Structure 1
Amino acid sequence: MSSGTQAPERVGAPTAVDVVRKNFSDTAVSSLRTFGRAVGLAQEALTGGIADIVRGKFQWREALLQAWRLVTVTTVPAILMAIPFGVIVSVQVGNLIHTLGADSLLGATGGLGVIKQGAPMATGFLLGGAGAAAIAADLGARTIREEIDALNTMGISPVHRLVIPRMAAMLLIAPLLNVLVIFVGVLAGYLVAIGGQGVTPGSYWATFGSFTTTADVWVSLLKALVFGFLVVVIACQRGLEAKGGPRGVADAVNAAVVLSVVSIVVVNLVATQITAMFLPTRLA
C-alpha cells in the first residue's frame, strides 16, 4: 500500500560551472569593496592631512621619522638597481645604435630610457617592495595587538595618527628616490658608453641635452609621486585590515607588495600612453 506522503526531491550537487560562477562573482564583489575602502582611505587621508596642516596639528616629527625609515630601507637597493639598469640600457641600445652607425645618439637613448621609464619604475618597485612591506608589517602588528581598537576607543583616529604621517613621508621620499635613480643610472650608462663603447663625452652629453627636456623630468617625478601614493594607500589599508594573528600580518604584507607592484605596472602603462600622446619625444 502506497504512502500518502511523497519523499522530498533531492537537490542536485552544484556543477563546476556554478562553483566557478559563484567564486568569480564573490571575488569581483570583494575586489570592488576593497577598492572602495581604499578610495575612502585615500580621500580621508588627503583631506585630513590638509586639515591638520591648516590647524597646525600635523605630526611633523612622526612624518620625518617615517621618511627616515623609508630612506634606510630603499636607498641602497635603489643604487644597486640603478647601476645595472643604466649599464644594460647603455650596452643593449649601444650595440643597436653602433650597428646603425649612430654612436653619437647613445646619450639621448640611454638618458631617455632611464628618465622616462627606468627611474619611476625602479622607484615604484622599491617603494612597493621594501616600503610597502615595512608599512604593512608595522600597521598589521599594531592591528593584531589591538592597538588600533584602543585608539578608536580613546577617540583617536588611526588615519590621523598613523596613516597621514606615513603618506606624507612616502610623498616626500618618492621624488627624491627617483632623482637618485636618475643620477646613478645616467652616470652608469655614461661610464659604460665612454669606457667600453668609444663614445666621446662631448657627443654623449650633447645628444642627452638635445633630446631630454625638462618635461621628461617632471613627468618622471610626477609618476614617482603617483606610484608612492598608490603604495602607501594599499600598504596602510592592508595593514589596518590584518586579522588572524601573525599569519594575518604575513598575509597583509604579501598582499600589499603584490597589489602595489600590479597597480604600478597598470598605472605606468596608462601614463606612458598619455604622455606619448601629449608629450612626444622631440628635440629640446
Structure 2
Amino acid sequence: MPTITASPEQGPGFSRLISRNFSDTIGSAIRTLGRTVVLAFSSVLGACADLGSGRLQWREILTQAWRLVTVTAIPAILMAVPFGVIVSVQVGNLIHTLGADSLLGATGGLGVIKQGAPMATGFLLGGAGASAIAADLGARTIREEIDALHTMGISPVHRLVIPRMIAMVLVAPLLNVLIIFVGVVAGYLVAIGGQNVTPGSYWAAFGSFTTVADVWISLVKAVIFGFLVVMVACQRGLEAKGGPRGVADAVNASVVLSVVAIVVVNLAITQVTAMFLPTRLA
C-alpha cells in the first residue's frame, strides 16, 4: 500500500500555522478580557456619577430587577431543594458512619451557606440572567440601535449597561438568601425524617458552627458572581455581529464564560477565606 509522507517544507509551515493560530487565540482572549475590564470600570464609575448627580434610572433598574426575579426565583427554589437533600443525605451517611449524627446540622448548613447557595446563585444568574441580557443587547446591536445611541450622543453604558448591572447586583444577594433558606429547610426535613436526627441537636450544631461571617461571605460571593455575570453578558451583547447567528453566539459565549469565571473566582475566594477565616465555633 502506498504511503503519503509530508515533504520537509510542509512540516515547519504546519508548525508555524498552529503556533500562529494559538497566538491569535490567546491574543484575542486577552483583548476581550481587557475590553470587559474596561467596561466594568466604566460602569462602576458611571453608576457612581449617576448616583451623585441624581440621574440614575431607577425605573429601568426596577424593571430589569423584576425581570431577573421572574426568571430565576422558581428555578432557585427547584435547585435549592434537591441540593439541600443531597448534602444532607451524603454528609449524613458519612457522619452516621463516624458516629457523629449530632453534627449533621453544622455540616449541612455550612455546605449550603458557604458553597451551595452562592454557586447556585451564580449559575442561575449566568444561565437565565446572562442569556436574557446578552440576547437583548445583541439584538439591539445588530439592529444598529447602539450605533444610533452613539450618533445621538447617548452613552450605551449609562443607558443600557448600568441599570442592568445594578439590578443584577441587587437581585444576587436576595436570590442567595432564598436558596440558603430553602436549602437549609430541605436538609433539616431530611435529617429529622430520614437520618433520625433530633430537631434540637440539628439546630444546636447549626448555630454552633455557622457564624454571621459565613453568611456575609456567602452574600459577598453572590454579589461578585452577579457582577461578573452581568459584565460578561453586556460585553458579549454589545459586541455581537453577524445577524441572528451572532446574537446566538453571544448568548452561548456569555453563559459559558460566566460559568467558567464563577468557578475560578469561587476557588480563589474559598482559598482566601479558608486561610483568614477558618471554620470555628460560633
TM-score (norm 2): 0.96
Partners of 1:177 and 1:224 in 2: CA distance? 9
Q: Once the two structures are superposed, what CA deviation does each residue of 1:205-252 show, in whole Å capped at 9, x if it has no partner?
A: 000000000000000000000000000000000000000000000000
Specify the SS of the correspondent of 1:242: coil
What does 1:131-210 align with in structure 2 at a 5 Å threshold?
131-210=129-208
1:20 CA drift (Å): 1.6
2:236 to 235, 238, 262: 238
Q: Once the two structures are superposed, what CA deviation does each residue of 1:248-270 show, in whole Å capped at 9, x if it has no partner?
A: 00000000000000000000000
Q: Does 1:126 align with 2:124?
A: yes
1:12 CA drift (Å): 4.5
Partners of 1:55 and 1:73 in 2: CA distance? 32
1:19 CA drift (Å): 1.8
Code of the residue aligned with 1:275 in structure 2: it is T
Code of the residue aligned with 2:272 in structure 1: it is I
Partners of 1:119 and 1:98 in 2: CA distance? 24
Q: Does 1:104 align with 2:102?
A: yes
Q: Does 1:283 align with 2:271?
A: no
In the other structure, the counterpart of 1:51 is 49
Q: Does 1:264 align with 2:276?
A: no
Partners of 2:199 and 2:129 in 1: CA distance? 37
Q: State the superposition RMSD in angstroms.
A: 1.0
**Greater Rg, structure 1 or structure 2?**
1
1:113 to 111, 114, 117: 111
Percent of pairs identical after alignment? 80
Specify the SS of the correspondent of 2:228: helix
Q: Once the two structures are superposed, what CA deviation does each residue of 1:59-99 show, in whole Å capped at 9, x if it has no partner?
A: 00000000000001100110000000000000000001111
What does 1:6-85 align with in structure 2 at a 5 Å threshold?
12-13=9-10, 15-85=13-83
Code of the residue aligned with 1:231 in structure 2: it is V
1:17 CA drift (Å): 1.8
Runs of 5+ consecutive residues of structure 2 not aligned to the other structure: 1-7
Code of the residue aligned with 2:48 in structure 1: it is I
Code of the residue aligned with 1:82 in structure 2: it is A
In the other structure, the counterpart of 2:225 is 227
Runs of 4+ in 1 over 4 A off after TM superposition: 11-14
Partners of 2:136 and 2:187 in 1: CA distance? 37
Runs of 5+ consecutive residues of structure 1 not aligned to the other structure: 1-10
1:42 CA drift (Å): 0.3
Paired residues, number: 274
